[in-house]
Amino acid sequence: MKNLVLGGIGSFTLVDKGNVDPRDLGKNFMLTPTDLGEGKAKAIAAHLNELNPSVAGSFVDEDPNDIIANNSEFFSGFSVVIATQLPLQTVVVLDGICRNEEIVLMVFRSHGLIATMRVSFGEHVVIDPKPEVAAYDLRLSQPWPELRDFAQQFELKSMDDISLRHVPFIVLLLQAAHDWELNRSGDLEGSKDYNEIKNVLNGMRRTHDEENFQEALRSVRHAWKPTSVPRHILDILDDDALDLTQSSPDFWFQIAGLGAFLRQNGGAMPLDGHIPDMTCTTDAYITLQRIYRDKAESDAKLVGNFVRAFLKRAGRSEDGISNDEVRSFCKNVSQVRVLRWRTFSAEATWEEGCGAALSRHLATNETQPYAAIYIILRAVDIFSERQNRQPGEHSDNYDIRQDVIRIKAIAYGLLSEIGVSVRVSVLDDLIEEAVRCGGSELHAVASVMGGIGAQEVIKIVTQQYVPCARTLVYDATKSTVIALL
């Protein structure tokens, strides 16, 4: 919560029935000795409010389990629900509530030096995934008339050396390709063709230190991108959600518009209009920017026309999606993602491929320790439900050896449920550690997971970057994380 409050979320509500006791001071750095005896939710909310006065914080002194069981309407006003340390069966109920209300659910589980985090939501669209490496679509394989005319204006042979050094590399590539095509037929493909283009470029050079020619040589292979639609976009275009109705989200109307655009445009994606920095004159660069921007605007306008037609057909206002929204969609369309998460109900019963996926991870050396951690946390849940306490937690019936035996039986019972009959040796050490920690929640482990979780919430709320679509498993003994299931 600290990271979300500092990040400027609109408001938050903490739910916890307990009071602050001495043990809480050792596992929650938001509490101080002056908070002893106070309601835990009240004390933490007060300290969080001090971090960012622009965020409205409140609290509810009730047991989350009671609210989930008896007052599902409580959650209707929230956009994100974050649940911590709840047993799986309770999470299953909460997940059903959140999905009915179209609320994002994030679940954390921490136990000693291991922890998990998982998001659950019906459908999430990432409009701006912000890839680490910019992938420029220069469309040199299909230059439109304005770009072709611009490139032909440059008489390279008659230029002086200084002017030649300031020709945009896009122009150099287009002219080199034109010269290559005079003696060949067909499209560029394969390293042999690219090497021939490089030979043409080198033949145009007068010295060996022209930066613009070096840019062109570095870009030969990457500048001629295939016009085919990316695989993940084809999957989205084949989605059942494209059976549009009046209540369909705006995103799917834009996807329908994209599909119509592709059919009319020979399968070429809308141009995003971005060009990289390059060595050239300011006037040439500005002109190139305008040419690419105008083409992107023209493509977006055509997509917008199709979108309005689909809106009208579905009985919605044709102005329901603005031109700015369509332009933003077209700018990022080659990178958009659609994520759907498995329900916790399916996970609890090993359905929808959950059991098979876990079996594969247990059979793989790299992922086996993390899959075993997942099994251990499931076993701890079952143990707590049966014994009404955490394994290793002191009580009248406390017996550490007996707790180890019980957890081991539960863990291997879970393996049997998913069809794993071989012994998983890493489980034994994890079981003893799970009992030894006595249900402790270490603030260092919780802090790491909380920081990761805050980032995931911000990704989902802003629809930027791609959130984790699987269960994230953290092993604090190795300071490593991995996504499973």
Q: What is the mean pLDDT of each run of 10 residues along the chain (485 residues)?
A: 87 92 80 88 90 91 93 92 92 95 94 94 87 79 91 91 93 87 60 80 87 90 74 92 93 96 91 92 95 96 96 93 93 90 93 91 90 93 89 74 90 90 81 87 88 92 89 93 90
pLDDT number for residue 58: 92
Q: Give the residue extent of every domain in the chain.
A: 2-122+441-484, 145-223, 231-339, 349-436
Alpha-carbon distance of 29 to 136, in angstroms, equals 46
pLDDT number for residue 191: 65
pLDDT number for residue 267: 87
> Do 97 and 354 form a contact (C-beta atoms < 8 A)?
no
pLDDT number for residue 137: 86
In this structure, the dihedral spanned by the alpha carbons of residues 431, 436, 442 and 445, taken in order and rounded to 10 degrees, is -30
Q: What is the pTM of this model?
A: 0.81
Cα 115 to Cα 15, 374, 441, 444, distances in angstroms = 21, 9, 9, 11
Exposure class string for 234-253: b at 16+ Cβ within 10 A, else e = eebeeeebeebeeebebbbb
pLDDT number for residue 398: 66
Residue 187 one-letter amino acid: D
Alpha-carbon distance of 102 to 16, in angstroms, equals 23
Protein fold of 2-122+441-484: Rossmann fold (3.40.50)
pLDDT number for residue 127: 84
**Who contacts 278 (Cβ-Cβ below 8 Å, separation ≥6)?**
168, 169, 170, 212, 215, 285
> Do 331 and 296 form a contact (C-beta atoms < 8 A)?
yes
